[in-house]
Structure 1
Amino acid sequence: MMTTSTCETTSLTRIEVRRPASGGRCEVLLACSGSADRPLVRPMLLSSDEDGARVSLVPEGALLLAGDAVRIEVVVGPGAHLELVEPAGTVAYAMDGGCARWDVDVVVEAAAGLVWAGEPFVVAEGARVARRTRVRLGWEARLALREVLVLGRHGERPGVVEQDLVLLGAGDVPVLVESLQVGPDSSPLLLGARVMGTVTVVGERLPATTEGTRLDLEGRGTMVRHLADAAHLAVPHEAWAQARQLVRAICSSTRNCRPSALAR
């Protein structure tokens, strides 16, 4: 098990989107803070309207280095919609025995939707990273999440990564709990592949014809996964397009509902 005692919390990024009870354009709160000698992940507003917002997560410097600890908090209020995009991937560099953390805590409230288009997360040879993602979904909340994990840069062996994903439905009932530990000696767990691309949708199931290794979740949800030797081959493009379309279509049905009527 990875020792993380050398990691200290150095940056916090927070995104919150809410639909005002009186109507009108959504309220969008964007904030980030951290140590002056550490890079931040800065949220930048791309667009917003009465339904929600589109926000880009822009790293201000090289991430991740030994000692970096990035925390991202996301809140999507009742009936709102948020789309998060990443303009580039993230590289965890060799850490000379150190480690880094990447923690994500998401709350998607009643009848709200989150679409997060994650770019490749590269764990270079010599890196040691702990990634934790926890999502709490309210009543009739929807989620579309894309992740691409790359084990080592071209010609490298994998670094070490501990990756945990916890999705909780209404009442904190577990929807999906997954734990993955991969390093130079355990990469055969991925059948020799260097890249793992995953699309997870909660709130509706993807069509049965969707390509990729498929897991239908308890209730309404689907995880689709591809293994490949290159990032562009591992991304389940068809599944991602379908997931985005499903979430957006369902969220549009709440457009005429007041947030107060969605809370339960």
Structure 2
Amino acid sequence: MTTTSTCETSSLTRVEVRRPEAGGGCEVLLGCSGPADRPLVRPMLLSSDEDGARVSLVPEGALLLAGDAVRIEVVVGPGAHLELVEPAGTVAYAMDGGRARWDVDITLDAASSLVWAGEPFVVAEGARVDRRTRVRLGWDARLALREMLVLGRHGERPGVLAQDLTVLGPRDIPVLLESLHVGPGSGPLLLGARVMGTVTVVGDRLPPTTAGTRLELEGCGTMVRHLADEAHLAVPHEAWAQARQLVRAICSSTRNCIPSALAR
């Protein structure tokens, strides 16, 4: 296992995991950089083996404030597995007319897999946030993504959020395109609740008995969503447990494959 960490002067967090063709422990590349007066999201290696790695995304300082621009890049090489965890949620605070950005770009190569256990993303009253997630999957890649959106802290109206999720399969064929734009007047009217918990699986389908409002995605995938007025009631526990089990199954099926062969 090789670990490399870098901190430079751009607003970026990067996590990359690759399986060496010669075998042995995975190569894990972790990088973070940003202005000295702005907080960072720092990737911390929790564990790794011959199949992949487990990494925590740790915020250093208050996020998000006006002017913050967080960019996270994730790359999982052929046949590798990555699990991302967040030790705490993210709060977008009041911004006095300013804005903040939160951009995520994910590339999953052939037969790779990613499990990302996201914690609550809170858009406080007075916040203005542009949030974008873009995922590209190679053939037989699998994704399990847990997200929780909270519109306003307790007793608050929501801030302004423009959120876009794009998931592309092999040859950039769209699997899921979703845009959500909410604000102080549209939040309760649009969603019918203050908290939205979502589990998205691509590359497999959740069992038909899974609780929650579900959407079967084009190709092979399932989105399950819970709406509630309190965060603990919107967590799709059953869907998330099933999603992790499905995605991790790819590890055993690719363990004996050579990464260069998977990439063909």
Q: Which category describes the TM-score, using the shorter chain as reference length?
A: over 0.9
In structure 2, the residue matched to 1:248 is 248
Written as runs of structure 1 = structure 2, the 5 A alignment for 1:17-166 is 17-166=17-166
Following the alignment from structure 2 to structure 1, what is the Cα–Cα distance between the partners of residues 262 and 65?
Answer: 42
Residue aligned with 2:164, SS:
strand
In structure 2, the residue matched to 1:174 is 174
Deviation at 1:50, TM superposition (A): 0.1
Residue aligned with 1:253, SS:
helix
In structure 2, the residue matched to 1:209 is 209
Runs of 4+ in 1 over 3 A off after TM superposition: none
Q: How much identity, in percent, do the aligned residues show? A: 85
Following the alignment from structure 1 to structure 2, what is the Cα–Cα distance between the partners of residues 252 and 81?
Answer: 10
Residue aligned with 1:148, SS:
strand
Equivalent pair of 2:161/2:181 in contact (CA under 8 Å): yes
Deviation at 1:179, TM superposition (A): 0.2
Deviation at 1:251, TM superposition (A): 2.5
The one-letter amino acid paired with 2:76 is V
Deviation at 1:10, TM superposition (A): 5.7
Residue aligned with 2:254, SS:
coil
Equivalent pair of 1:111/1:138 in contact (CA under 8 Å): yes
Equivalent pair of 2:112/2:250 in contact (CA under 8 Å): no
Following the alignment from structure 1 to structure 2, what is the Cα–Cα distance between the partners of residues 64 and 250?
Answer: 35
The one-letter amino acid paired with 1:113 is S
Deviation at 1:11, TM superposition (A): 1.7
Residue aligned with 1:118, SS:
strand
Q: How high is the TM-score relative to the length of structure 2?
A: 0.96
Following the alignment from structure 2 to structure 1, what is the Cα–Cα distance between the partners of residues 212 and 223?
Answer: 9
Residue aligned with 2:167, SS:
strand
In structure 1, the residue matched to 2:191 is 190
Distance 1:10 1:162, change over 3 A: farther
Following the alignment from structure 1 to structure 2, what is the Cα–Cα distance between the partners of residues 251 and 126?
Answer: 44
Following the alignment from structure 1 to structure 2, what is the Cα–Cα distance between the partners of residues 202 and 132?
Answer: 18
Following the alignment from structure 2 to structure 1, what is the Cα–Cα distance between the partners of residues 96 and 226?
Answer: 31
The one-letter amino acid paired with 2:175 is V
Residue-by-residue CA offset, 1:181-229 (whole Å, 9 max, x unaligned): 01011111001x0000000000100000000000000111000000001
Following the alignment from structure 1 to structure 2, what is the Cα–Cα distance between the partners of residues 251 and 98?
Answer: 44
Following the alignment from structure 1 to structure 2, what is the Cα–Cα distance between the partners of residues 182 and 220?
Answer: 29
Residue-by-residue CA offset, 1:17-51 (whole Å, 9 max, x unaligned): 00000000000000000100000000000000000
Equivalent pair of 1:10/1:68 in contact (CA under 8 Å): no
In structure 1, the residue matched to 2:3 is none
Residue-by-residue CA offset, 1:73-106 (whole Å, 9 max, x unaligned): 0000000000000000000000000000000000
The one-letter amino acid paired with 1:190 is L
The one-letter amino acid paired with 1:232 is H
Residue-by-residue CA offset, 1:114-139 (whole Å, 9 max, x unaligned): 00000000000000000000000001
Equivalent pair of 1:69/1:102 in contact (CA under 8 Å): yes
Equivalent pair of 1:10/1:69 in contact (CA under 8 Å): no
The one-letter amino acid paired with 2:190 is L
Asked if 1:223 corresponds to 2:223, the answer is yes
Equivalent pair of 1:10/1:38 in contact (CA under 8 Å): no
Residue-by-residue CA offset, 1:39-70 (whole Å, 9 max, x unaligned): 00000000000000000000000000000000
Following the alignment from structure 2 to structure 1, what is the Cα–Cα distance between the partners of residues 253 and 140?
Answer: 12
The one-letter amino acid paired with 2:139 is W
